[in-house]
Amino acid sequence: MANLGEISVSAALNLLSAFAFLVAFAILRLQPINDRVYFPKWYRRGIRNSPRRSGVCVTRFVNLDWRTYIKFLNWMPAAFRMPELELIDHAGLDSVVYIRIYLLGLKVIGPLAVLAFLVLVPVNWTGETLEGVKNLAYNDIDKLSISNVPDGSKRFWVHIVMSYVFALWTFYVLYVEYKEVAAMRLRYLASENRRPDQFTVLVRNVPPDPDETVSEHIEHFFRVNHPDSYLTHQVVYNANKLAKLVQKKKSLQNWYTYYFNKYERTSKRPITRTGFGGVVGTKVDAIDYYSSEIQKLSEAEALEREKVLSDPKAIVRAAFVSFKSRWAAAVCAQTQLSHNPTIWLTEWAPEPRDVYWRNLAIPYFDLTIRRLLMAIALFFLIFFFMIPIAFVQSLANIEGIEKVFPFLTPLIETKSVRSFIQGFLPGIVLKIFLILLPTILMMMSKVEGFSSCSSLDRRSAGKYHLFLLINVFLGSIITGTAFQQLKTFLHQPPTEIPKTVGESIPMKATFFITYIMVDGWAGIAAEILRLVPLVIFHLKNMFLVKTEQDREEAMDPGCLNFATYEPKIQLYFLLGLVYSAVTPVLLPFVIIFFAFSYVVFRHQVINVYAQRYESGGSFWPDVHRRLLIGLLISQLLLMGLLSTKSVEKSTIALLPLPILTIWFHVYCKGRFQSAFVRFSLQDAMTKDTLERATEPNLNLRAYLKDAYVHPVFKGRIHFESPLLVPDEENNTLVLTRRSS
């Protein structure tokens, strides 16, 4: 069990590591050769020019101006100079709302830490219970926790009162933040420019018709039921195989360009191999080989394209239907179109760059089956991950390691090794287990069939949050030192097991402090350093990049990984809320994480990350709900802990807290959530009226013509409904090929 000194050593080491990352970042970002890695956003917008274009040979690669190294931390104040409104225009509302989560952490946990250290820490420290227990291993951190208060003491009422104070403060901050984010979203939607998704609805599960094709059936249905507002539609094609051929051809063309440029420089015909990666197989002329392969793929692509366009089975029973106004689209997207609630299902269309085309080809009936199977798979994934988590947590017990590996006892007992094991080993091993998890969860979300990248991110974030909640948090509390507690549990009466588990909550503070330092602090430092993108960029420049266009592709900065980052933020929120009334010494570590993250990610969204899509901050209700889940868990755990401390009527005193939390969630959901899932007809009509007044000659049909055409067809062929003459548009009778 690590003591305060060992935790201090670990904290110092982690802070030094983070500072070393910052120094490395400060030096690397100043070098002209790395400028495209640390400021790619400005290059992609054509605002920033490479410093390598001027100067002598050395200064094109290395910054020799010593004055710039003195102010190596000037990027921090620079991250705050851009106002929030300007930042929304620069990076999008999604990025700004995401950054506010870190600021929300400071608003919530900061005051909690001040109150806890002023009130609870003196109460815990003066309890002096642990010192009076014989043969009990404890440390200075335990003396600052609720474990140091004697059973049955009236001091616990201070913790009960403070838990109400903490909950009310959290309610206030969350309410104000939800209100502000909802207002930001409404202002953004009211002020943003015209976009195709404002006029378009995604229609799924179109019923079959014996006399009409899918496209004709859709046009017939909407001309009958939306005669004054229907404009056009685009049916969805199953072009997944064609998309793979196009992507493969693009890859081969890149290799062809590389070898052709190499031939032009050296006048020597390059050689490659026909096997994997060009390193195995028969030697051939590279230019001839890739030219031949590209020709074969072009022929296969043309055949597949013709097959998709001519085969009725390639048409999915779904379509993007566009209307003449935002008001009409809002009515269609938010109402039931048929008396049968399982057909003609509508939802707001994602913006074109947000569409995940691969999943649109999935039949609607299959979606329910897929999501059921993925729910079962998620359950087993979470369940079986408890085994390695239990093993990892047992490593935090030095006595357990000494029993398994007695020959290591002299080495482990050295102060430096002991500090390393307690401070680094558990978090590092756990981190290895979690590296591949977000990728697995994203694959599961894709199998579920969601039609937009934003919904995939939100769904994956929900899975990852559930995993971290059960396996990392609850799993660490319940199964920590599991191999040694198992025998104790088997020989204990059932009524004693909750007490054993409850008492382990404050004892786990050491592990979670270590986890915050290893996973949080070091992770944020690695985020700002961007070492992996730096290496990849220079490798591409060395071997693949030969033109400015290639360099732009190699400079892809990526985007904010909401599906991975947001659940981790929720874990740190949870730790802060749980331990605010139990072991307040953990709170400063959480505050450092939030403060550091806020500065780093503000810098990243300004200078680095590209915007893959814009959802207008639609993920905030999920963030709010998960924060309240964390608050509810903290209250239930405190109730369970105090029930083991012989505190009279503690359960009754704390029972209103979870009830208040649930009521607060229901209230906020009813008050604000509609702004994130619906678009009011009043706002839609306002935007339509303003647009008609300012652009009376707008050709909306031409504007929407190619908006929702599959990317593999764009620029090659147009898909649209036949243009109608005015008499046909005003005709109340709709032409049909039906025999009945």
The predicted-structure confidence for 360-376, as pLDDT tens digits, reads as follows 888 888 898 999 999 99
Q: Compare 164 and 484 and report the one with higher pLDDT.
A: 164
Residue 379 inside a domain? The answer is no
Between the CA of residue 173 and those of 180, 478, 544, 673, what are the distances in Å?
A: 11, 31, 50, 17
* Region of residue 710 (phi > 0: left; psi between -120 and 50: alpha; otherwise: beta): beta
Whether residue 99 is found in the same domain as residue 10: yes
Whether residue 636 is found in the same domain as residue 656: yes
**Hey, what amino acid is at 104?**
L
Residue 483's pLDDT band (cuts 50, 70, 90): very low
Percent of the chain residues past pLDDT 70, beyond the cut: 81
Whether residue 31 is found in the same domain as residue 141: yes
Asked if residue 327 lies in contact with residue 681, where contact means CB atoms within 8 angstroms, the answer is yes
Residue 284 inside a domain? The answer is yes
Q: Is residue 179 scored above 90 in pLDDT?
A: yes
Mean pLDDT of 714-727: 49
Q: What is the pLDDT of residue 349?
A: 93
- Give the whole-angstrom CA distance, residue 304 versus residue 308: 6
As a three-state string, the secondary structure of 65-90 is CHHHHHCCCCHHHHHHHCCHHHHHHH
Per residue in 600-612, pLDDT tens?
A: 999 999 988 888 8
Output DSSP code: residue 609.
Answer: -
Q: Compare 732 and 456 and report the one with higher pLDDT.
A: 456
| Residue 21 φ/ψ, nearest 5 degrees | -60, -40
> Does the pTM exceed 0.75?
yes
Q: Is residue 329 scored above 90 in pLDDT?
A: yes
Q: Is residue 738 scored above 70 in pLDDT?
A: no
Bridge partner residues of 32 (DSSP): none
Residue 221 inside a domain? The answer is yes
Whether residue 473 is found in the same domain as residue 619: yes
625: nearest Cα among 582, 573, 588 = 573
214: nearest Cα among 199, 197, 232, 236 = 236
Whether residue 486 is found in the same domain as residue 338: no
Asked if residue 624 lies in contact with residue 566, where contact means CB atoms within 8 angstroms, the answer is no
Q: Is 320 helix (H, G, I), strand (E, B) or coil?
A: strand
Asked if residue 587 lies in contact with residue 67, where contact means CB atoms within 8 angstroms, the answer is no
Residue 686 inside a domain? The answer is no
Q: What is the pLDDT of residue 13?
A: 74
Whether residue 164 is found in the same domain as residue 225: no
Q: Is residue 721 scored above 50 in pLDDT?
A: no
Whether residue 205 is found in the same domain as residue 189: no
| Residue 347 φ/ψ, nearest 5 degrees | -155, 160
Burial class (CB in 10 A: 0-12, 13-18, 19+), 82: middle
Mean pLDDT of 464-492: 64
Q: What is the pLDDT of residue 109?
A: 95
Q: Residue for token digits 């039949």? A: 363
Asked if residue 609 lies in contact with residue 559, where contact means CB atoms within 8 angstroms, the answer is yes
Q: Is 180 helix (H, G, I), strand (E, B) or coil?
A: helix
Q: Into how many domains does the chain fold?
A: 2
Whether residue 567 is found in the same domain as residue 672: yes
Residue 498 inside a domain? The answer is yes
Q: Is residue 507 scored above 90 in pLDDT?
A: no
- Give the whole-angstrom CA distance, residue 567 versus residue 623: 9
Q: What is the pLDDT of residue 138?
A: 61
Whether residue 471 is found in the same domain as residue 618: yes
Burial class (CB in 10 A: 0-12, 13-18, 19+), 720: middle
Asked if residue 573 lies in contact with residue 497, where contact means CB atoms within 8 angstroms, the answer is no
Q: What is the pLDDT of residue 567?
A: 93
DSSP characters over 229-298: TEEEEEEEE--HHHHHHHHHHHHHHHHHHHHHHHHHHH-S--EEESSGGGTSS-EEEHHHHHHHHHHHHH
In this structure, the number of other CB atoms found within 10 A of the CB of residue 431 comes to 15
CA 6 from chain centre, in angstroms, equals: 34
Per residue in 651-663, pLDDT tens?
A: 788 899 999 999 9
* Region of residue 82 (phi > 0: left; psi between -120 and 50: alpha; otherwise: beta): beta
598: CB partners within 8 A, 6+ apart: 99, 102, 103, 106
Last residue of a domain, one of 655, 678, 701: 678
| Residue 283 φ/ψ, nearest 5 degrees | -75, 135
Asked if residue 506 lies in contact with residue 583, where contact means CB atoms within 8 angstroms, the answer is yes
Whether residue 143 is found in the same domain as residue 286: no
Q: What is the pLDDT of residue 388?
A: 62
Whether residue 219 is found in the same domain as residue 178: no
Q: Provide the domain limits for residue 221.
A: 197-350+692-713
Mean pLDDT of 128-142: 62
Percent of the chain residues past pLDDT 90, beyond the cut: 34
Q: Is 447 helix (H, G, I), strand (E, B) or coil?
A: helix
Q: In the chain, count H helices and then E strands.
A: 38, 6
Asked if residue 326 lies in contact with residue 199, where contact means CB atoms within 8 angstroms, the answer is yes
Report for 103-117, 184-198, 419-433, 582-596: range of highest mean pLDDT: 103-117
Residue 603 inside a domain? The answer is yes
Q: What is the pLDDT of residue 23?
A: 80
- Give the whole-angstrom CA distance, residue 740 versus residue 737: 9
Whether residue 254 is found in the same domain as residue 119: no
Residue 632's pLDDT band (cuts 50, 70, 90): very high
Poorest-confidence range of 168-172, 257-261, 630-634? 257-261
Q: What is the dihedral angle through the alpha carbons of 22, 23, 24, 29, rounded to the nearest 10 degrees?
A: 80
473: CB partners within 8 A, 6+ apart: 571, 574, 575
Bridge partner residues of 319 (DSSP): 203, 235
User: Mean pLDDT over all residues of the chain?
Assistant: 82
Residue 738 inside a domain? The answer is no
Mean pLDDT of 113-138: 76
Asked if residue 290 lies in contact with residue 298, where contact means CB atoms within 8 angstroms, the answer is no
Residue 104 inside a domain? The answer is yes
Q: What is the pLDDT of residue 199?
A: 94
Burial class (CB in 10 A: 0-12, 13-18, 19+), 320: buried
